[in-house]
Amino acid sequence: MPHKLRLLPLLWLAALAVPTFAGGAQPAVVARWGDSLAAFERADRAQRPEAGGVLFVGSSSIRLWPRMPDDFRQVTVINRGFGGSTMADCSQLARQLVVQYRPRHVIVYAGDNDLAEGRTPRQVLESFQEFVRIVRSELPDARISYISVKPSPLREPLLDKAREVNTLVADYIQALPNASFIDVFTAMLDGSGRPRTDLYGPDRLHMNASGYALWKRLITTHILAAQSPSDAPSTGVTPPAR
């Protein structure tokens, strides 16, 4: 039997092994993230998050945030980060990881890994647009904030592509109601325009406590603005460094 034909039943069985709420995404994506989806379902059974909170979704920069509930005590926080994920994964799993929790505010960090896997900045934008389409189709009043792709020392060769992603997404958000672009990229560069190594751990990819403290300060402004929609600007876009 050809190798590809032998693989199909295995993917089908893997898809059956993940939580029932994972319908709607491609089977290969569901199978890839089966452990993470199962862990989220177990957490939901133990204590279901309240609707109307602030939901963070995205890759390891979200998953590894050490004290997220303490850092944003003014709101109910839900962390649905899954390490290694892409913006493409987030759009595929938007209904399972975002919509079902009925959040008031969705904050997404993804795109970094897409670039590392060879996707173009335009493809990252398209994945984010699909993410927005899915979320807004069922949660039309939810605010959506995108955290810019960060400039990590390990991925410095991708810096120009990260800038392009940030510019494309910021321009898109400019015309998107009830949305904001959170520029962490600019503050994470040193005086010569290179990634600040003091914000990262030994692997030069994941942030240390100083990096998360910076993110906390920048993101809190957007969370507080979203708590008073009548006083908040329609987009709250801060143009990224170009």
Give the model confidence (pLDDT) of 34-48 as tens digits. Answer: 999 999 999 999 999
Residue 10 clears pLDDT 60, i.e. is over it: no
Asked if 197 and 163 sit in the same domain, the reply is yes
Structural domain count of the chain: 2
Residue 236 lies in a domain: no
Asked if 112 and 197 sit in the same domain, the reply is yes
Q: Which of 89, 36, 33 is nearest to 58 (CA)?
A: 89
Asked if 210 and 97 sit in the same domain, the reply is yes
Average pLDDT over residues 120-136: 98
Mean pLDDT of the chain, nearest integer: 88
Cα distance between residue 128 and residue 15, in whole Å: 24
Cα distance between residue 72 and residue 97, in whole Å: 20
Residue 238 clears pLDDT 50, i.e. is over it: no
Residue 242 lies in a domain: no
Residue 114 lies in a domain: yes
- Model's pTM, two decimal places? 0.85
Asked if 23 and 97 sit in the same domain, the reply is no
Residue 234 lies in a domain: no
**Residue range 51-66, pLDDT digits in tens:** 999 999 999 999 999 9
Residue 241 lies in a domain: no
Residue 239 clears pLDDT 80, i.e. is over it: no
DSSP string, 70-108: HHTTTS-EEEEE-TT--HHHHHHTHHHHTGGG--SEEEE
Residue 175 lies in a domain: yes
The letter for the amino acid at 163 is: R
Asked if 130 and 213 sit in the same domain, the reply is yes
Residue 23 pLDDT class (50, 70, 90 cuts): very low
According to DSSP, residue 195 is labeled B
Asked if 43 and 121 sit in the same domain, the reply is no
Residue 127 clears pLDDT 70, i.e. is over it: yes
| HSE-CB of 66 using CA atoms within 13 angstroms | 8
Residue 181 lies in a domain: yes
Q: Which of 226, 88, 63 is nearest to 144 (CA)?
A: 226
Asked if 101 and 128 sit in the same domain, the reply is yes
Report yes or no: 80 and 98 within 8 Å, Cβ to Cβ: yes
Range of the domain at 24: 1-48
Asked if 135 and 82 sit in the same domain, the reply is yes
The letter for the amino acid at 194 is: R
Residue 234 clears pLDDT 70, i.e. is over it: no
Asked if 81 and 186 sit in the same domain, the reply is yes
Residue 24 pLDDT class (50, 70, 90 cuts): low
Pairing assessment for the beta strands 143-147 and 179-182 based on DSSP bridges: parallel
Domain finish residue from 48, 65, 87: 48
Asked if 137 and 207 sit in the same domain, the reply is yes
Asked if 171 and 198 sit in the same domain, the reply is yes
CATH of the domain at 198: 3.40.50.1110
Residue 26 has a pLDDT of 84
Residue 25 pLDDT class (50, 70, 90 cuts): confident
Asked if 197 and 109 sit in the same domain, the reply is yes
